[in-house]
Chain A
Amino acid sequence: MAKAVLDALGARFGAAILATSSHHGDDVAIVKRDALADIARFLRDDPAMAFNLPCYCTCVDYLGLDGMAPSAGTVPTGYASRTRGEGAGLPDARFAMIYELRSLVHGHRVRLKVPLMEDDLVVPTLSELWPAFNWLERETYDMYGVSFSGHPDLRRIYMYEEFVGYPLRKDYPKERRQPLVRREWSDE
């Protein structure tokens, strides 16, 4: 049923849709960042789409994997081997934003993936379209360092202001702690 969503996206946005897959009704569209705002607005406002429930947004760090590399013609490894048919994308995109949308009107859902390069980690905010994305985008910024252009209040949401770095990136060492306060052990 929801394959119609992917077909409509492909028909309307063409080259901005890098790849789609529909595995057991799990509809995924990998889209270009520059078209994300338009696609999101279309998905929300078009009566046949009517995606009125933003389930979540988050980010994935593909460090050490093949990123969203094309799988055609080569032996699929890493990310490409785990999600068959989603190979097309930016060959060395390290990050991917993921948006999960659902329509309570039509009962269908779709997942958007936006490949992002490490040196250009900017994506347009969707919090204007769905206010629920406001805090989720702040969390993604807090944990992965993705910055959202146009976001009304882009601050850390979980970690303290003094915190340096982005803890859910794969290259953040798990032992590294950034204490706010420690005591002197001589007082006992």
Chain B
Amino acid sequence: MGLEIATTKLEDAANWGRKFSLFTYPFVTACCGMEFMSVAAPKYDIARFGAEFPRFSPRQSDLLMIVGTITERQGPVLKRVYDQMAEPKWVIAFGVCASTGGFYQNYSAMPGADQVIPVDVYIPGCPPRPEQVLDAIILLMKRVQEGRGHSQVRHKREQIARAGG
């Protein structure tokens, strides 16, 4: 019992650290990238939330931002980038194309990036305002703290399964 409380508190402390140091991998494919740059630039300043440092290697990042339309042809690439990221990891679908395919209904556009990988937070908008992005990051930070990110939940589920529960 005592050990359980200790590990829970340890997890809380780790999550507190994780939520203030989100390292972003920007998977930028389309015009939403301009808004992403705007969020990253000093006016809106994503650095205030500890997510200031885009890492252009999936192995060094824990937040995958899918910024823009995903085509069917890009599906395997996106999956591979996601698989290369170390656990725990989080995914934000930036803009309506990454969330649902947006106004594209045709042979080439994928109807939402969640067809290929799990997504934690969806940001609507075409493109979204920078404030929406910051709102999404705050929402994600809340989830990280509560351990409700998809990879955290998955990890917990695996632990329970391993313990024979």
Minimum Cβ distance to chain B for residue A37 (Å): 32
- With an 8 Å Cβ cutoff, the count of chain A residues facing the other chain is 17
Q: State whether the Cβ of A82 lies closer than 8 Å to any Cβ in chain B.
A: no
8 A Cβ contacts from A37-86 to B: none
**Interchain CB contact under 8 A, B115 and A174:** no
Instruction: List residues of chain A with CB within 8 A of the CB of B111.
Output: 177
Q: A188-B150, A188-B154 are in contact. Are A179 and B115 (CB under 8 A)?
A: yes
Identity of the chain A residue whose Cβ is nearest the Cβ of B78 in the assembled complex: A181
**Interchain CB contact under 8 A, A178 and B79:** no
Q: State whether the Cβ of B164 lies closer than 8 Å to any Cβ in chain A.
A: no
A-B contact count (CB 8 A): 48
**Interchain CB contact under 8 A, A179 and B105:** no
Instruction: List residues of chain B with CB within 8 A of the CB of A182.
Output: 75, 115-116
**Interchain CB contact under 8 A, A160 and B73:** yes
What separation, in Å, do the CA atoms of A98 and B106 have in the docked complex? Answer: 24
Q: State whether the Cβ of B14 lies closer than 8 Å to any Cβ in chain A.
A: no
Q: State whether the Cβ of B117 lies closer than 8 Å to any Cβ in chain A.
A: yes
Instruction: List residues of chain B with CB within 8 A of the CB of A174.
Output: 105-107
What string of 1s and 0s marks CB contacts (under 8 Å) between B65-90 and chain A? 00000001101100100000000000
What separation, in Å, do the CA atoms of A172 and B105 have in the docked complex? Answer: 13
What separation, in Å, do the CA atoms of A167 and B116 have in the docked complex? Answer: 22
Minimum Cβ distance to chain A for residue B99 (Å): 16
What string of 1s and 0s marks CB contacts (under 8 Å) between A149-188 and chain B? 0000000001110000001000010111111111100011
**A167 contacts which of B107, B117, B153, B154 (Cβ < 8 Å)?**
B107
What separation, in Å, do the CA atoms of A181 and B60 have in the docked complex? Answer: 25
Identity of the chain A residue whose Cβ is nearest the Cβ of B101 in the assembled complex: A177
What string of 1s and 0s marks CB contacts (under 8 Å) between B149-162 and chain A? 01001100000000
Instruction: List residues of chain A with CB within 8 A of the CB of B154.
Output: 187-188
* Residues in chain B within 8 A of chain A (CB atoms): 72-73, 75-76, 79, 105-108, 110-111, 114-118, 150, 153-154
